[in-house]
Amino acid sequence: MREAHLRERTVGMAYYASDGDGIGGRLRTRPEEFRVREVETVDPAPVDADPGDYAHLLIRATLHGWDTNDFAARISDAFGMSRERVSWAGTKDKHAVTTQLFSLRGVDAAALPGIDGAEIEAVGRLGRALRFGDLAGNAFVVRVSDLAVDADEARGRVDRVTEELRLVAATDDRTATDTTADERGTLVGVPNYFGHQRFGSRRPVTHRVGLHVVRGEWREAVRAYCGDPADTEPPETQAARAVVDEEAATADPDWQRALDAMPGYLRYERSMLHRLADARAGDAEGGDADEDGRFRDALEAVPSNLQRLFVNAAQSYAFNRIVSERLRRGLPLSEPVEGDVVCFADRSLDEPFAVPDTDREQRVTGRRVDIVGKHCARGRAFVTAPLVGTGTELADGEPGEIEREVLAELDLSPDAFELPGAFDSSGTRRAILVRTRLDATVDDEGATFEFALPRGAYATVLLREFLKTDPIDL
């Protein structure tokens, strides 16, 4: 079993599914080299439908170098409205060309603004806002440049890794006809890890913040987010975070000094520090000195979606650890063993984009391993692991042993996720394997990978198998 890059191991991605050498290289040297298009599922009414019945205008935007949240803020500013009136189905990276849907409440199609780096078209109207997850998946065309080896060597390495991942996708001869190459590419499988960017591409700390939150360590959560400089950050940012660490180490931190040192572009850090500075000033005037309350209030200075992200990242980290331990022990990803919790596929989605329907789960007993395995081999069901929360029931047998050991090492339990406000989470389950049809080509200038993934799966988790390089380059 080939160990992952050190940076990946820090977010729970301990292994590769393939042993073959990588081609190296870099992604996103230009946004045009990383193209993403949402596979849409919504069925809107016509653009000229009555806004009284369909209050939300549905637009399709092709964005060049725009982060989803930043574009939402830009278009809301253009209309002079709250960003709460802008919704989307999936978050995309700014270092890409992305095509995705947004819904705008109370907006007329004729009033759509021109925005640099964005091509916008009105596609219909909806009676409700888009919800996160209102898509089947994403289709990718990714160009890898600056390969570490020449074209002939790269072709050989891509072929070997593809074959290894083809075997990961298949369980036995029952799927042999489904794993050969066809006009859509070769069916391959990879661990359904949460990618490095889930935790912060340059400074992966969101899971650490979330772990502190779940343990009730509010002070440590704020320090982990605002302090702890990373060598991948600009010198000004590193210096500001060092000031936070200096003050946090004192008996009476001067949070105003830390706030003054923090650059304006780190607005969430500044929001937290501003609340701490105000609370310290209030203490000097005889205010409430409840430390946990102060630090929790500081964390709640950021938007509720970021508060949820902290806890979600902790869940994601635990999930990655569970999948890695399963790989280490040699348990399969594509078929169940006794004790596994399997979820049948969501019937509303086409097979290439199927995800588990967590309302249709089954515990795998010894007598049913074979029959459930057939469903998994044919893509009708998925072996899962928990995104642990208050509603989580852990697996049995060896899979359950793995889940309990990982949670114990992290000092977590399902009950610990009963938290105030946006930090609360009931949890869910997630497939431990993702399959896709892959078309990979290599030329003298680089390599191109075309594939599509169901919602929630990460392109970089597939591409890392072929590059085997520092995730910073992904």
- Which residues are annotated as catalytic? 93
CA 116 from centroid of its chain's CA atoms:
27
Question: Which residues fall within 8 angstroms of residue 314, CB to CB, at 6 or more apart?
Answer: 207, 209, 210, 211, 213, 214, 412
Q: What is each CA distance from 158 to 18, 60, 89, 161, in whole angstroms?
A: 11, 34, 33, 5
Question: Which residues fall within 8 angstroms of residue 304, CB to CB, at 6 or more apart?
Answer: 421, 422
8 Å CB contact between 295 and 277: no
Give the SS3 label for residue 141: strand
Q: Which two structure tokens, joined as six digits, stand for 270?
A: 């500044």
Of 261, 199, 250, nearest in space to 224 by CA: 199
**Which residue in the block uniquely carries the two structure tokens 């596979």?**
39
Question: Which residues fall within 8 angstroms of residue 177, CB to CB, at 6 or more apart?
Answer: none
Strand partners, 454: 137
